[in-house]
Amino acid sequence: MRKMLLLSLFAFAATGQAVAGESAKEQVARAQLAHQVGDYRASADLYHRVAGALDDNAGIFEQEVLYAGASAAAMAGDREQALDFLGRAVKAGVMQADRIRHDPSLASLQGDPRLDALLADIAAQQKRSDRIWNSPGFAAAYSDSLSEDQRVAGLSRLWSEAKFSFANFDRVPDLDWDALYLETLPRVRAAPDTYAYYRELQAFLARLQDGHSTLVLRSASIRDRFQARPGLSTAYVEGRVFVRDVFDPALRAAGISRGWELLTIDGEPVSVYAERELRPYTSASTPQDLHSQMYERSLLQGPLDRPLSIGFSDPRGKAHVVKVGRMPAKEYKAARQEPPAFEWKLLPGNVALVTLRSFSDNTAADQFEAAFARISRAEAIVFDLRDNGGGNSNVGYRILSLLTDRPFQTSAWRTPDYRPALRAWSISTPDFNAGAGEWPHDGKRHYAKPVLVLTSARTYSAAEDFVVAFDAMRRGRIVGELTGGSTGSPMMFDLPGGMVALICTKRDTYPDGKAFVGVGIAPQAEVHPTVADYRNGRDTVLDAAVRLARADAQ
pLDDT tens profile 176-206: 999 999 999 999 999 999 999 999 999 999 9
**Whole-angstrom distance, CA of residue 187 vs CA of residue 203:** 11
- Exposure string over 22-51, b if 16+ CB within 10 A, otherwise e: bbbbbbbbbbbbbbbeebbbbbbbbbbbbb
Task: Answer for the pair 162, 213: CB distance below 8 angstroms, yes or no.
Answer: yes
- How far apart are alpha carbons 444 and 447 in whole angstroms? 10
- To the nearest 5 percent, what fractions of the chain are helix, strand and coil? 45, 20, 35
For position 8, what pLDDT does the model report?
41
pLDDT at position 236, please? Answer: 98
> Could you give the CA distance from residue 360 to residue 362 in angstroms, rounded to a whole number?
7
* DSSP-assigned letter for residue 107: G
Q: Is 70 exceeded by the pLDDT of residue 17? A: no
Q: Cβ neighbours of residue 368 under 8 Å, at least 6 residues apart?
A: 342, 344, 354, 356, 375, 398, 399, 402
**pLDDT exceeds cutoff 80 at 22:** no
Query: Do residues 11 and 434 make contact, with C-beta atoms less than 8 angstroms apart?
Result: yes
**What pLDDT does 468 receive?**
98
- How far is Cα 295 from Cα 24, in angstroms, rounded to an integer? 47
Q: What percent of the chain has pLDDT over 90?
A: 77
- Ranking 270-279, 394-403, 429-438 by mean pLDDT, the lowest is 429-438
Q: Pairing relation of β-strands 380-384 and 451-455?
A: parallel
Residues 447-500: pLDDT tens digits?
999 999 999 999 999 999 999 999 999 999 999 999 999 998 999 999 999 999
pLDDT recorded at residue 16? 37
State whether residue 134 is helix, strand or coil. coil
d(CA 383, CA 475): 12
Query: Is residue 37 scored above 70 in pLDDT?
Result: yes
CB atoms within 10 A of CB 362: 15
What pLDDT is recorded for position 13? 36
Provide the terminal-to-terminal Cα distance of the chain, rounded to the nearest Å. 39
Q: What is the pLDDT of residue 21?
A: 58
Reported confidence tier of residue 56, pLDDT bands at 50, 70, 90? low
Degrees to nearest 5, angle at CA 345 with 342 and 351: 120
User: Are β-strands 477-480 and 451-455 bridged in parallel, bridged antiparallel, or unpaired?
Assistant: parallel
Measured CA distances, 490 to 3, 358, 459 (Å): 9, 18, 17
pLDDT score, position 59? 63
Confidence (pLDDT) at 5: 42
Residue scoring higher pLDDT (83 or 14): 83
What pLDDT, on a 0 to 100 scale, did the predictor assign at position 223? 87
Asked if residues 199 and 187 have their Cβ atoms less than 8 Å apart, the reply is no
254 or 129, higher pLDDT: 254
- 55 exposed, middle or buried (CB, 10 Å; 0-12, 13-18, 19+)? exposed
DSSP 285-296: SSHHHHHHIIII
Reported confidence tier of residue 329, pLDDT bands at 50, 70, 90? confident
Please choose, from the candidates 95, 86, 91, 165, the residue with its C-alpha nearest in 3D space to the C-alpha of residue 128.
95
Q: What distance in Å separates the CA atoms of residue 220 and residue 232, rounded to the nearest whole number?
A: 19
pLDDT value, residue 11: 38
Spell out where 380-521 has E strands. Answer: 380-384, 408-415, 432-439, 451-455, 477-480, 490-495, 499-504, 507-509
Q: What are the start-end ranges of the H helices in 298-427?
A: 329-336, 363-375, 393-400, 420-424
pLDDT tens-digit map of 112-148:
999 999 999 888 888 888 787 877 888 888 888 899 9
Which phi and psi (to 5°) does residue 81 adopt? -65, -35
User: Of the candidates 401, 383, 410, 409, which has an alpha carbon nearest to the alpha carbon of residue 447?
Assistant: 401
At 338 the pLDDT is 87
User: Counting Cβ atoms within 10 Å, is residue 427 exposed (0-12), middle (13-18) or buried (19+)?
Assistant: exposed
| pLDDT above 70 coverage of the chain, percent | 95
Residue pLDDT, tens place only, 508-549: 999 999 999 999 999 999 999 999 999 999 999 999 999 999
Mind listing the pLDDT tens digit for each residue in 87-116?
Answer: 999 888 888 888 899 999 999 999 999 999
Closest CA relative to residue 446, chosen from 478, 411, 408: 408
Average pLDDT score over the chain = 91
72 contacts 45 by C-beta, under 8 angstroms: no
Q: Which amino acid is it at 481?
A: E
Q: What are phi and psi of 83, to 5 degrees?
A: -70, -35
CB contact at 8 A, 385 and 342:
no
Per-residue pLDDT, 103: 92
